[in-house]
Amino acid sequence: MSEESGKKKFRSAAWFGRTDKDGFIHRSWMRNQGWPSHVFDGRPVIGICNTWSELNPCNAHLRTIAERVKIGVWEAGGFPLEFPVMSMGETNMRPTAMLFRNLASMDVEESIRANPIDGVVLLCGCDKTTPALIMGAASCDLPAIVVSGGAMLNGKFQGRDIGSGTDVWRFSEAVKGGTMSLQQFMEAESCMSRSGGHCMTMGTASTMANMVEALGLGLPQNAAIPAVDSRRLTLAHEAGRRIVAMVHEDLRLSRILTREAFENAIRANGAVGGSTNAVIHLLAIAGRIGVRLSLEEWDRLGREVPTIVDLMPSGRFLMEDYFYAGGLPAVLRALGEKGLLHKDTLTVNGKTIWENCENADNWNSEVIRGFDRPLVEHGGIAVLRGNLAPDGAVLKPSAASAHLMKHRARAVVFENIEHYQERINDPSLDVDETCVLVLKNCGPKGYPGMAEVGNMGLPPKVLSKGVTDMVRISDARMSGTAYGTVVLHTCPEAAVGGPLAVVQDGDMIELDVEARRLHLDVSDQELQARLANWRAPETGIRGGYQELYVKHVMQANTGADLDFLVGCRGSEVTRESH
Ligand code: FES
């Protein structure tokens, strides 16, 4: 932005604000859409970055949202231009949507920088779409505002509420354990997904929508308004108006995404019982904007925060209930009153986070419980260390079983996901409920893409006893809708020769969440001897993006970004097109 002529010149003026051949070309081709001359008069050009896709059901309503954003942009004197980017639907993409988060972030970054855009509205919803859009936008550092798509309405089945994901795991275990018929299982499908929107549990999509609001990147109530509530359209309309003002104010992402904003988000994640996936995504976003954030900070900051939101998978309720109870502003107010919020962090509406939430009401203390009666005393994310995870591993205490938080037992080892699938249903598998299930080669490089298989299902012979949880350890991730005493993101991962790679059937493993310890009970000498003999497994990758990904992906403890994408490269374009 420059002010040479007395009138602010925005970035897009380098395309549309010139009288030479290039200006002709930039405007002329745009005119084939019927735009009149006055839209090129130097007003802010607002990109609407849309992850709409019919292959991504959670984001399939985002065209409607985009139309409302456009109305707001026009109203405020901007020129809205919608553009598509890669969309990752969690339920359909193989081998795992996470493989493509970084690819989509490149699409976003390059689409923003290459085009005549002064500010951008990011439309996202399903798990990976939110971090991908923020990562890409952060690497450009233009004014940006996020509009999340909102969650589906509560699932309803057999007279009770059911939650996306969370009840799928329950139902599928119930079918295996013989307490639910296949017909009932099939009936539950349409009862679970009753409207547009993303998963309505506190899964990764809802968690990331909360993170958007806690970071200051979305308007108040961005996290919780249901996808089909008319107030979601109002929020989109207002976001359109606001982004134009943000361009005038030069309110860039780097002014919002400060260290304090990340600290607020980490604490908010603890309070809402958010997904472990938020750890990886926030580390990656911080890396893009240049904030030094470490895995340890998740433990340090989150440890003192009780989980006060009673939503599945940790608790009982769903996102619709959360919105009616007051949503994130009520949670942020509670954090602020406890001294657990940096109150002065700036948000996209130009106000501080505290100004946005200091008068927020809590209308239902069953859903948003007070600090005096939390759902889980110590929420947040536990970061474990030990000879099995020298660079860390994570566990979500609010989703784990109290009786397994300190546990020493024999390992039952699966070399990869296929090995697990072959063996888990075998009645002769030597396993009981006291064992620790260990799954290898499901990390960023190993899978590749770090699949959400860390909450691997229990063996049928254990389930049939009515047992619902066992300690499980892997280098994989876990769906935010899942639950259990599950150690995830073990670093370094098995595929790069981390100690996880050399765990053997029968080894004793100690988990002590309180002491943050994850220990393989073999001597240092034995461990070193095993590691010296370890050979990397074949990847089977035959070129393409996967090859680039596996060469460059970093470990989970730093956000699993591609090494060459870390950092903010700004919005400057070095060469013109013609
Ligand atoms: Fe899209 Fe859960 S599958 S949000």
The CATH number assigned to the domain with range 383-537 reads 3.50.30.80
Any residues with Cβ below 6 Å from ligand 1, and which? 58, 90-91, 126-127, 164, 198-199, 203, 205
pLDDT tens for the chain, 578 residues long, are 666 556 789 999 999 999 999 999 999 999 999 999 999 999 999 999 999 999 999 999 999 999 999 999 999 999 999 999 999 999 999 999 999 999 999 999 999 999 999 999 999 999 999 999 999 999 999 999 999 999 999 999 999 999 999 899 889 988 988 899 999 999 999 999 999 999 999 999 999 999 999 999 999 999 999 999 999 999 999 999 999 999 999 999 999 999 999 999 999 999 999 999 999 999 999 999 999 999 999 999 988 899 999 999 889 999 999 999 999 999 999 999 999 999 999 999 999 999 999 999 999 999 999 899 999 888 889 999 999 999 999 999 888 999 999 999 999 999 999 999 999 999 999 999 999 999 999 999 999 999 999 999 999 999 889 999 999 999 999 988 788 999 999 999 999 999 999 999 999 999 999 999 999 999 999 999 999 999 998 888 889 999 999 999 999 999 999 999 999 999 999 777 66
Checking DSSP bridges between strand 486-487 and strand 471-474, what pairing results, if any?
parallel
Comparing CA positions, the residue from 128, 1, 111, 130 lying closest to residue 47 is 111
The closest-lying atom of ligand 1 relative to the alpha carbon of residue 165 is 2
Spatial separation of the C-alpha atoms in residues 498 and 442, rounded to whole Å: 12
CATH topology of domain 43-153+195-357: Rossmann fold (3.40.50)
Could you tell which of 148, 164, 275 is best to mutate to test the pocket of ligand 1, judged by most ligand atoms within 8 Å of the CB? Answer: 164
Tell me the pTM: 0.97
Q: Whose CA is nearest to atom 1 of ligand 1?
A: 126
Length of the chain: 578
Instruction: Say how many Å lie between the CA of residue 205 and the centre of ligand 1.
Output: 6
Comparing CA positions, the residue from 257, 273, 339 lying closest to residue 310 is 273
Amino acid at 135: M
Q: Whose CA is nearest to atom 3 of ligand 1?
A: 90
Q: Is there a contact between 457 and 429 (Cβ–Cβ < 8 Å)?
A: no
User: Taking the mean position of all CA atoms in its chain, how far away is CA 83?
Assistant: 22
Q: Is there a contact between 195 and 153 (Cβ–Cβ < 8 Å)?
A: yes
The closest-lying atom of ligand 1 relative to the alpha carbon of residue 59 is 1
Residue 368 is classified by DSSP as B
Q: Whose CA is nearest to atom 2 of ligand 1?
A: 199
Q: Is there a contact between 9 and 246 (Cβ–Cβ < 8 Å)?
A: no
Instruction: Say how many Å lie between the CA of residue 436 and the centre of ligand 1.
Output: 29
Spatial separation of the C-alpha atoms in residues 419 and 437, rounded to whole Å: 12
Q: Is there a contact between 390 and 492 (Cβ–Cβ < 8 Å)?
A: yes
Domain extent listing, the chain: 43-153+195-357, 157-192, 383-537
